[in-house]
Amino acid sequence: MSDVVVKNNIITVTLPDGRIFNFPIPVLELNIFWKYAKLIRKNDPAAYPYKFRLVKTLTPKRDEDFTHSDCNLYTEGEKKYFLIRLALDVNNSTTLLIDSLLHEVAHVRTWTHMQDMPHNEAWHTDAFWLEYGRLRRVYWKEM
């Protein structure tokens, strides 16, 4: 049986044969995430306003093992808005959370309304990849 100890944000696993492995616990600093979320929303608007929601988990679509995030367009009366949801069980570090946010913001900024097309063709267009790359260049430089 392996021995597991958690101390000072490090998981130490000692195997029965004596080998020891140390794994840092990812740190999720939500204050940093919200700083970037507000900055991105202010500087990079989309066709409709967008909101962010952190959720515990998201149900995978298609044959994926997990889902980092998603975005959808909603209508409430006369108003439309995008809702970006980010799963905390998969995005378990500030870096992953912000990267997933940038991915979803690239979607809302290049929204094509082609829901009947296969997933990768409809949502991961050349325009999407160009925008995602631009967002990463701008905001990773900030981090």
Residue-range domain boundaries for the chain: 26-142
Residue 66: what pLDDT? Answer: 58
Residue 2 has pLDDT above 80, yes or no: no
Q: pTM of the full predicted structure?
A: 0.73
**Is 26-142 a domain of CATH 3.40.1000?**
no
Q: Report percent pLDDT > 70 for the chain.
A: 81
Contact residues for 98 (Cβ-Cβ < 8 A; gap 6+)? 32, 33, 36, 139, 143
Residue 101: what pLDDT? Answer: 94
62-91: pLDDT as tens digits: 656 557 899 888 999 999 999 999 998 888
Please state, in angstroms and rounded to a whole number, the distance separating the CA atoms of residues 85 and 104: 9
Q: Count Cβ neighbours within 10 Å for each residue of 2-11 and write b for 16 or more, e otherwise.
A: eeeeeeeeee
Q: What is the mean pLDDT of residues 106-123?
A: 67
